[in-house]
Structures are given as structure tokens and as C-alpha cells.
Chains A and B, each alone.
Chain A
Amino acid sequence: MKKRSISSQLIASIMVNAIYAMVNYPIVLVSTILAPFSLLIVISFISHGSLTPVAIGGALIMTMISSGTSMQQDLSHLKNDFKVQDMIVSSPVRAWVYFLGMSLSQIVYVIPALIALVILAAVYIHATAIGYLSIIAVMLIMFVFASALGFVLSTLSSDVVQSWGFSGIVSTVMSALPPVYYPITYIPMPFQYLAYLSPATYAAEIVQNITGLTSFSTGTILIDWTVIIAVTAAMLFIAMKKSKWRED
């Protein structure tokens, strides 16, 4: 049996889903860099700059969440329009290697935007080293959650139109509902409760607490960490058990 190089398998995913797309269509690169800045700029202007640090923290979280959830559309497109998943299933590639490779490709895709946001964060967010590390941890946890969700949905979709439907729901729950770019106190009661249906709200509270503009009790922050870790673990478990690598 041939010895398979996992690094080659991971690189293949990164090349197909990120590098070649950007090399063959440079416009993709421009759009990727611009994507996280639209809401960030709007919030900064509306708040006359007072919410800029919160909005930058929000943009960092949303960049990771959107890159994870957009895996759903990318993989659905590859699966349903090109039958790539069928080609890959009938090959030595294991589902987790494909998932990991495609997840890494999403990170590579947003590296230019992340670099710009990190520079802005260094300027506007004044936090301790632990604070910065916490922001990175929150970003990674939310990315794992979102990409696992994206992967599961992509394997369940049987048509790209169906994947648009998934995408709309995910976008509402993960982007529209949570107060990522502004404090949750800006949402009137009882609608704040709705925001807590989204894991992104808990992630946003942690980051907003670090920026210092909104402060939450230690208990709330502990609950926030517990929730995002628990939902991510649950989503990974679902990805392992419920993804349809081989169709029924």
C-alpha cells in the first residue's frame, strides 16, 4: 500500500480552495480583504470612533466565523456542481483530512484581511498579553465551531440552492443576531435574549470585555467561555458523527 503524505493532502486542499482561486482570479483577493471592513467602518463612523475598538474586535471574530461558515458554500459548490466530494470519497483521502485541509484553506483565504485587522487591533485595542491571547483563543474556537458547522451542512446539502438556504439561516444566527460589532446593551430588551441564541454573542462579550469599553462580571465571562467551548465540542462531535461522507 502506498504511503500517503498527509501534508500533501492538506496542501492540495489549500491550493484548490484558496491559492489557485486567488491566483486565477485576483479580484477574489481584493474582495476578501475588503469584506470585514464594511460594518467596521459603518460602526466607527456612526459612533464617532467611540466603538472602533469594539468593532475591530467584532471584525476579528466575524472574519473567523464567516470564513468557517463560508466553507459550507465552497464545499457544497465543489460537491454538487463538480462532484468533487464523490471523487474524493472514492480515494484514500479520509473525511477528517479533507475537513482539516479545507478549514486551513479558509484561514489562508482570510490571511490578508486578518493582517490588516491585527494592525488595527494593535493600534486601537489596548489589552494585556493575556487579553490578546484570549482574543486569539476566542477567534480560533469560533473558527473551529463555524467550520465544523459548515462542513456538516455541506455534506448534507444535495444541491447548491439548498446550500444557499443553509447559508441564509447560518448568516442570521451567526452574523445578524449577535451584537458582535457593538455592545449587547444596545439591543433593547427583550430582544437581548434572542442574541444569546447565537454562540457569537458569547464570543463577542469576551472580546468586548477585553477592549474595556463594556465590562461584564467574572461569572458572565466564565459562562461565555464555557458556552463557546461546549458548543464547539458539540459541533465537532456532530461533524464526526453526522457528516454524510458516504451517502445513505
Chain B
Amino acid sequence: MDMLNLQNVTKEYEPGKKALKSVSMSVPANGIFALIGRNGAGKTTLIRILSTQLSLTSGRASVDGLDVMKDAQDLREIIACVPQEGRAIGWLTPRQFIVSYLMWRGFSSKEATERFEKVMKELGISRYSDTLNRMLSGGTKRKVLVGMVIASEARILFLDEPTTGLDPISRHDLWSTLSRLKKDRFIFLTTHYLEEAEALADNIGIMEEGRLMSLGTLDELRNHVKYPYSIKILSDYRAKKPRQGDLIKGVDGHIQIVTTEKEARRISRHLIDKKVKFAMNPLTLDDIFYYIVRKPIEGEESNEEEEY
């Protein structure tokens, strides 16, 4: 059975202002599902609907076979969520905060304390157990929040941008924790860090302007893009559309040629001759993402230019 099943899910905050536009998808029950997309793509709206915080306007959505609208109370028994702008309550210590959260979930004080000790050790932040949350660094505060849901018994975790604001070392530490967790839990995470999705996710969804643009494993997404190689032009050179492939604009403003291996070799020779700085690589998730959500580049379709 699929873990997530969405059929034409639409969310309209105000008439005519759709945050989700008929999103349909099925996600298998294994491991980590990462949803990536730019700001305003609809990731948070979707995670809030699936974690029963927000009503959908039309369509149907279920998590582990439970309808998010009709079976919300049953679903809440098995989920936990770290909201995007969630913060550990400032006037509490991590111990007070996490133990209280677990008691809210119905654990006894003793059981909650045992789970708290275990998770703090696992996250390597035991020494901050009794420091007020407001005194902690941003990264440690995020870890406390993630620790809160990890310590729970929930077998489905929704993490909305859990590593935002973490330094690279803390982020990698958290990745290790999430990788261990995915063996016996399903984790739905949204992220801006494409390398995070690449490193962690078993399945990846790409959203853009309220629509699901693509969904699959990293290999499936690679196959979704017909061309396996990317050439990033690093100088002012006006690149042209290749014989085979596409011309796209990356996040950093660089022009990128996505093409076949053979064509990539041919173009690279041409660029070397022209003394143009460039980088050639097999497609990464970044390339796939920008390929899928790309904006047309002026002249992209034009064949008037001289060929490479």
C-alpha cells in the first residue's frame, strides 16, 4: 500500500489564489520522501494538509490509508510534525519541552524522561538538557525540535525544512540520524537543499507554483530528463541551443546546456577552442530541479544562431 495518496488536491486560501493546483501522487511506504521546490511552491501547504493542520479545498488525500479529513483523529495517533517556523518554547529547557511534548502524546513522566535522555544522547546534545531553549544556538534549537518528534512513538514524521539554519556539520549529523530513523519510520521532509534530498531521500517530489512537476527516485528523475549531461557556462559567452538537448538558466544565473554525452563532448571541445570557462558533469539533482522548473531563456527556441 502507498504511504501517501493524493488525488487532485487543491488548496485555495482566497478565491482565485491557489496554493496547490490539483496535485496527485502516490508515494511508496519506504524510507524518506523529500519534497523540493522554491519558496511559495506549495511545499508547506502540502505538508500542513497531510499532517492534518490545514483543510484542503478539494480533492482527496490519505496517509497510510487514512483520509486526512475524515480520519484525522486516527491519523494523528501515528504522526508527528516539526512545522517550518516551529521553535522550542523559549522559557523551557529541552528537558522540560520534550518531556512535556511526550506527555502531551500520553506518555507517563517516567517513560517520557527515558525517551528524552535517549534522544538527547543520540543527537549529541545531552549537555544542553537543562539550558533554557532561548539560550541555545539556532542549530541546537532545531535539533531539540527534531529530537521532540524522534523521541515520540509516531511512525510517520513530517519535517518541514528541518535543517534550515543548521551549519554544515550539524546538518550532516542530522542526516545521519534521519538515515538511521528511516529504517523503521516514514519521513516526509521538505527542503531547499537539493543535496539533502539527494543524500537522504528514497523518493523525491519536485513542486513548482502549486503543481507537482515530477516524482520518483533519483534515478527515475534522471531518466525523466532525457539528457544525462550538463555543461555550465561560467563566463559571459552567449550559449546557443545544442543540436540535442536544452538550454536552461540555473539558480546562480549561469546558462546551462543539458544534453547527451556525445553532444556534451562535442560542445566542450568547441568551448575549449573558444576559451570559454565551463564545467561539465553528469546531471545532479540540482540540474534536474532547474531543468524541470526552468524558465524559458530568450532565444532558446531560436535556431538562427550559428551552431557549435
Contact assessment for B48 and A92 in the assembled complex, using a CB-CB cutoff below 8 Å: no
B89 pairs with A82, CB closer than 8 A: yes
A9/B106 in contact, CB under 8 A: yes
Q: How far is the CA of A86 from the CA of B91 in the complex (A)?
A: 19
Q: How far is the CB of B37 from chain A (nearest CB, A)?
A: 20
Are B83 and A12 in contact, CB atoms less than 8 angstroms apart? no
- List chain A residues, Cβ under 8 A from B93: 24
Main secondary structure of the interface of A (DSSP, over half): helix
**Binary flags per residue of B45-84, CB closer than 8 Å to A gives 1, else 0:** 0001001111100000000000000001100110111111
Q: Does chain B have a CB within 8 A of A218? A: no
Neighbouring B residues of A15 by C-beta, 8 Å: 96, 100, 103
A113 to chain B, nearest CB (A): 20
Given A16-B92, A25-B91: A90 and B104 interface contact (C-beta under 8 Å): no
Assembled-state Cα–Cα distance A86/B44 (Å): 12
Complex: chain A residue closest to B82, CB-CB: A87
Instruction: Check A30 for interface membership: any CB of B closer than 8 A.
Output: no
CB of A86 within 8 A of CB of B86, answer yes
Q: Is the CB of A91 within 8 A of B79?
A: yes
Given A11-B109, A16-B96, residue A87 in contact with residue B101 (CB < 8 A) = yes
A93 B104 Cβ-Cβ under 8 A: yes
Contact flags (1/0) for A3-22 with B, using CB distance below 8 Å? Answer: 11110110111011000110
Range, interface on chain A: 35 or more
- In Å, the complex CA distance between A82 and B84 comes to 10
User: How far apart are A11's CB and chain B's nearest CB, in angstroms?
Assistant: 6
Binary B-proximity of A187-224 (CB < 8 A = 1, otherwise 0)? 00000000000000000000000000000000000000
Q: Digit string of A219-248 for contact with B (CB within 8 Å is 1, else 0)?
A: 000000000000000000000000000111
The answer to whether B81 and A86 have CB atoms under 8 Å apart is yes
CB-CB < 8 A to A94: which residues of B? 73
Q: Counting CB contacts under 8 A, is B185 at the interface?
A: no
Contact B107 A5 (CB under 8 A): yes
Which residues from chain B contact A6 at a C-beta distance below 8 Å? 106
- Chain B minimum-CB-distance residue to A97: B104
- Residues of A1-53 at the interface with B, using a CB-CB cut-off of 8 Å, are 1-6, 8-9, 11-13, 15-16, 20-21, 24-25
Report, as a range, how many residues of chain B touch the other chain: 35 or more
A92 and B105: CB pair below 8 A? yes
A246, B72: Cβ atoms closer than 8 Å: yes
Contact with A along B95-123 (1 / 0, CB 8 A): 01100110111111100100000000000
**B236 — which chain A residues lie within 8 A by C-beta?**
none
Q: Enumerate chain A interface residues (CB-CB to B < 8 A).
A: 1-6, 8-9, 11-13, 15-16, 20-21, 24-25, 78, 81-84, 86-94, 98, 246-248
Q: Which residues of A contact B224 (CB under 8 A)?
A: none
* Contacting pair B100 A90 (CB below 8 A): no
B113 vs chain A, min Cβ distance (A): 12
Tell yes or no: B226 within 8 A of A by CB.
Answer: no
Please tell me if the beta carbons of B158 and A13 are within 8 angstroms of each other in the complex. no
Question: What's the least CB distance linking A103 to chain B, in Å?
Answer: 15
Shortest beta-carbon distance from B18 to chain A in Å: 15
Known: A87-B81, A94-B73, A246-B52. A24 touches B132 (CB 8 A): yes
List 12 additional A-B contacts (Cβ < 8 Å) besides A24-B92, A93-B105, A247-B54: A6-B106, A8-B109, A9-B105, A12-B101, A20-B92, A83-B83, A84-B89, A86-B51, A87-B148, A91-B76, A91-B105, A247-B53
Q: Which residue of A lies closest to B95 (CB)?
A: A20
Nearest CB in chain B: distance from A93 CB, A: 5
Task: Decide yes or no: A8 and B106 within 8 Å by CB, A2-B77, A94-B73, A246-B52 being known contacts.
Answer: yes
Q: Which of A86, A88, A89 counts the most chain B CB atoms within 10 A?
A: A86
Question: Quick one: which of A13, A90, A98, A248 contacts B80, CB cutoff 8 A?
Answer: A90
**Looking across the interface, which residue of chain A has its beta carbon closest to that of B88?**
A82
B10, chain A: closest CB distance, angstroms: 14
Q: List 10 A-B contacts (CB under 8 A).
A: A5-B107, A8-B106, A13-B104, A24-B93, A25-B91, A82-B87, A84-B86, A84-B89, A90-B52, A93-B76
- In angstroms, how far is the closest chain A Cβ from the Cβ of B187? 14
Q: Which residues of B contact A24 (CB under 8 A)?
A: 91-93, 96, 132
Q: Which residues of B183-242 are within 8 A (CB) of A?
A: none
Whether A83 contacts B85 in the complex (CB less than 8 A), given A13-B104, A90-B51, A91-B104, comes out as yes
* Selected contact of A5 from candidates B92, B106, B153, CB within 8 Å: B106
Are A8 and B103 interface neighbours, CB within 8 A?
yes
Closest-by-CB residue of A relative to B57 is: A248
- A140 → chain B, closest Cβ, in Å? 25
Residues of B within 8 A of A82 (CB): 86-90
For A248, the chain B residues whose CB sits under 8 A away are: 54-55
A246 to B50: give the CA distance in the assembly, Å.
12
Cβ contact of A2, chosen from B51, B88, B132, B153, cutoff 8 A: B153
CA A15 – CA B109 in complex, angstroms?
11
Q: Find out whether the CB atom of A86 lies under 8 angstroms from the CB atom of B53.
A: yes
* Cα-based distance from A25 to B92 in the complex (angstroms): 10
Contact A2 B106 (CB under 8 A): yes
State the CA gap A247–B54 with chains docked (Å).
5
